[in-house]
Amino acid sequence: MKNTETPNPLFNDLDLETAGRVGFAWRDIRRGSTAGDARDVIYGVGGSAIEPGQMDALDLLVTVESCRMGDLADHLRIDPSTATRSVQRLIKDGLAERVIHDGDGRVVAIAATERGRRIHGEVRIRRRDLVLAILSEYTPEERFVLADFLERFTVAMDNAVKARKRRSR
């Protein structure tokens, strides 16, 4: 799909330059030379390594006794069929298991296994330690502002993408 929209005329040159800087910083975080190394530091290498998507699912699964597939899909902001494939990988790797839903025996739910909880705990600590090392480059006030801005950026991105999807229909 080709985007033929021109930038909003209400934005000035500084806004456009700032948008470019944010876009390049985002690209560098996502694909920069250290991105692969950071992924290895957080998610591990070798036999106990997990994929970022597996960690995203485990972030929810370790906080609940079990969860329905639809709830997991909502949490991950993905299509239910994609959640199903993700869960199949979690089960194959021994990180999650299918269980009978407490409220309705006909409903299959997903729960983290002990292995999944253990690996999640290890990855959570590595992720926390890396973020703390990064945050050590900032003052306490800057850390708070950065967290606030990143949370707001995430919400704004969701809203902007939803609006563009609605317009393209």
160 token code pair: 């902007």
166 token code pair: 């609605």
59 in a domain, yes or no? yes
Query: What's residue 6's pLDDT?
Result: 55
Query: CATH code at 67?
Result: 1.10.10.10
For residue 68, what are the β-bridge partners?
Answer: 109
Query: What's residue 108's pLDDT?
Result: 81
Helix, strand, coil abundance in the chain, percent, nearest 5: 65, 5, 25
The predicted-structure confidence for 35-87, as pLDDT tens digits, reads as follows 888 899 999 988 778 999 999 999 999 999 999 988 999 999 899 889 999 99
The radius of gyration of the chain from alpha carbons, rounded to an integer in Å, stands at 20
The 3-state DSSP class for residue 77 equals coil
The predicted-structure confidence for 122-161, as pLDDT tens digits, reads as follows 999 999 999 999 999 999 999 999 999 999 999 999 999 9
The predicted-structure confidence for 83-121, as pLDDT tens digits, reads as follows 999 999 999 999 999 998 777 777 789 999 999 999 999
pLDDT range class, residue 5, cuts 50, 70, 90: low
Q: Which of 99, 89, 94 is nearest to 68 (CA)?
A: 99
**Number of domains making up the chain:** 1
Q: What is the domain range of residue 75?
A: 51-113
145 in a domain, yes or no? no
Query: What's residue 72's pLDDT?
Result: 93
33 in a domain, yes or no? no
Q: Which residue has the higher pLDDT, 33 or 131?
A: 131
46, exposed or middle or buried, with CB in 10 Å at 0-12, 13-18, 19+?
exposed
40 in a domain, yes or no? no
Residues 60 and 72 sit within 8 Å (Cβ to Cβ): yes
